[in-house]
Structure 1
Amino acid sequence: MDAYRGFVMFLMMAEVLQLSQVAENFPESTVWQFLAYHQSHAEWLGCSLHDLIQPSFSFLVGVALPYSLASRISKSEPFGLQFAHTLRRSLILILLGIFLRSIGRSQTNFTFEDTLTQIGLGYPFLFLIAQRSLRTGWIALGVILVGYWLAFVLYPVPAIDPERVGVPADWPYHFTGIAAHFNKNTNLAWAFDTWFLNLFPREKPFLYNGGGYATLSFIPTLGTMVLGLQAGRWIRAQSAGLLKRFLMMGVAGLILGSLLSVTGLCPSVKRIWTPSWVLFSGGWCFLLLALFYYLIDVKSWQRWSFPLLVIGVNSIAAYCIAHLFEHFIADSFRTHFGPHVYQFLGEPYAPLLRGLIVLLGYWLILYWMYQKKLFIRI
Structure 2
Amino acid sequence: MFNISMSHNQTNYYTFEEDCFKSRLKYEIMDTSKRLISLDVLRGLTIALMILVNTPGSWSYIYAPLKHAAWHGCTPTDLVFPFFLFIVGLSVYFSFKKNSGESSQKIVIKILKRTLIIFLIGFCLNLYPFFNFSEVRVMGVLQRIALAYGAGALLCFIFKGYRLLIVLAAILLGYWALLFYGAHSDPYSLEQNLVRRFDLFLFGEHHIYKGFGIPFDPEGLLSSIPAIGTVIIGYLIGQVMSTENSIVLKIRKLLLYGVLMVVLGSIWALVFPINKPLWTSSYVLFTAGLGTLFLAVLIFIIDYKKYAVWSKPFVHFGSNPLFIFVFSGLYAKTISYLIKIPVEGNLDKISLYKYLFVKGFAPIFGNMNGSLLFAISHIIMFWLLCYVLYKKKIFIKI
Q: Pick from 49, 57, 62 the counterpart of residue 76 of structure 2.
A: 49
Q: Show the counterpart of 1:274.
A: 280
Please tell me whether residue 92 in structure 1 is matched to residue 117 in structure 2: yes
Q: Show the counterpart of 2:381.
A: 361
Following the alignment from structure 1 to structure 2, what is the Cα–Cα distance between the partners of residues 47 and 66?
Answer: 27
Q: Pick from 250, 254, 262 the counterpart of residue 254 of structure 1.
A: 262
Matched AA of 2:228: L
Q: Is the 8 A contact 1:20 1:37 kept in 2?
A: no
Following the alignment from structure 2 to structure 1, what is the Cα–Cα distance between the partners of residues 207 and 306?
Answer: 53
Matched AA of 1:118: R
Q: Show the counterpart of 1:119.
A: 145
Please tell me whether residue 238 in structure 1 is matched to residue 244 in structure 2: yes
Q: Is the 8 A contact 2:58 2:357 kept in 1?
A: no
Q: Is the 8 A contact 2:183 2:192 kept in 1?
A: no
Please tell me whether residue 13 in structure 1 is matched to residue 66 in structure 2: no
**How far off is 1:210 after superposition?**
4.7
Inter-CA distance 213–314: structure 2 relative to 1 (3 Å threshold): closer
Following the alignment from structure 2 to structure 1, what is the Cα–Cα distance between the partners of residues 288 and 394?
Answer: 31
Inter-CA distance 344–373: structure 2 relative to 1 (3 Å threshold): farther
Matched AA of 1:291: V
Q: Show the counterpart of 2:234.
A: 228
Matched AA of 1:225: V
Q: Is the 8 A contact 1:110 1:200 kept in 2?
A: yes
Q: Show the counterpart of 2:11.
A: none
Inter-CA distance 146–210: structure 2 relative to 1 (3 Å threshold): closer
* 1:225-259 residue CA offsets vs partner (Å, 9 max, x unmatched): 11100011122223552111111122111211111
Q: Is the 8 A contact 2:273 2:282 kept in 1?
A: yes
**How far off is 1:21 after superposition?**
4.1
Following the alignment from structure 1 to structure 2, what is the Cα–Cα distance between the partners of residues 276 and 20?
Answer: 28
Q: Is the 8 A contact 2:196 2:217 kept in 1?
A: no
Q: TM-score, normalised by structure 1?
A: 0.80
1:249 counterpart SS class? helix
Q: Show the counterpart of 1:104.
A: 129
Q: Is the 8 A contact 2:86 2:234 kept in 1?
A: yes
Q: Show the counterpart of 1:37.
A: 64
Q: Is the 8 A contact 1:66 1:236 kept in 2?
A: no
Q: What stretches of structure 2 of length at least 5 have no aligned partner? A: 1-38, 342-351
Inter-CA distance 255–353: structure 2 relative to 1 (3 Å threshold): closer
Q: Is the 8 A contact 2:199 2:217 kept in 1?
A: no
Instruction: Choose between structure 1 and 2: higher helix proportion.
Output: 1
**How far off is 1:260 after superposition?**
1.7
Q: TM-score, normalised by structure 2?
A: 0.77
Q: Pick from 135, 138, 159 the counterpart of residue 162 of structure 2.
A: 135
1:289-300 residue pairs with structure 2 within 5 A? 289-300=295-306
Q: Is the 8 A contact 1:329 1:358 kept in 2?
A: no
1:193-342 residue pairs with structure 2 within 5 A? 193-198=199-204, 208-210=214-216, 213-238=219-244, 241-262=249-270, 265-326=271-332, 340-342=359-361
**How far off is 1:99 after superposition?**
1.7
**How far off is 1:119 after superposition?**
2.0
* 1:173-219 residue CA offsets vs partner (Å, 9 max, x unmatched): xxxxxxx21111312211211111139979x9xx9535655221111
Inter-CA distance 346–93: structure 2 relative to 1 (3 Å threshold): same
**How far off is 1:275 after superposition?**
0.8
Inter-CA distance 239–338: structure 2 relative to 1 (3 Å threshold): closer
1:375 counterpart SS class? strand
Matched AA of 2:230: T
Q: Show the counterpart of 1:166.
A: none
Q: Is the 8 A contact 1:246 1:286 kept in 2?
A: yes
**How far off is 1:317 after superposition?**
1.5
Please tell me whether residue 149 in structure 1 is matched to residue 160 in structure 2: no
Following the alignment from structure 1 to structure 2, what is the Cα–Cα distance between the partners of residues 106 and 328?
Answer: 13
Inter-CA distance 47–67: structure 2 relative to 1 (3 Å threshold): same
Matched AA of 2:267: L
**How far off is 1:364 after superposition?**
0.8
Inter-CA distance 192–297: structure 2 relative to 1 (3 Å threshold): same
Q: In percent, how many aligned pairs have the same letter?
A: 27
Following the alignment from structure 1 to structure 2, what is the Cα–Cα distance between the partners of residues 201 and 213?
Answer: 12
Q: Is the 8 A contact 2:316 2:387 kept in 1?
A: yes
Q: Is the 8 A contact 1:250 1:287 kept in 2?
A: yes
* 1:243-284 residue CA offsets vs partner (Å, 9 max, x unmatched): 11111122111211111222xx21111111111111111111
Q: Calculate the aligned-residue CA RMSD, in Å.
A: 2.9
Please tell me whether residue 371 in structure 1 is matched to residue 391 in structure 2: yes
Inter-CA distance 189–269: structure 2 relative to 1 (3 Å threshold): same
* 1:44-65 residue CA offsets vs partner (Å, 9 max, x unmatched): 1111000000000000000011
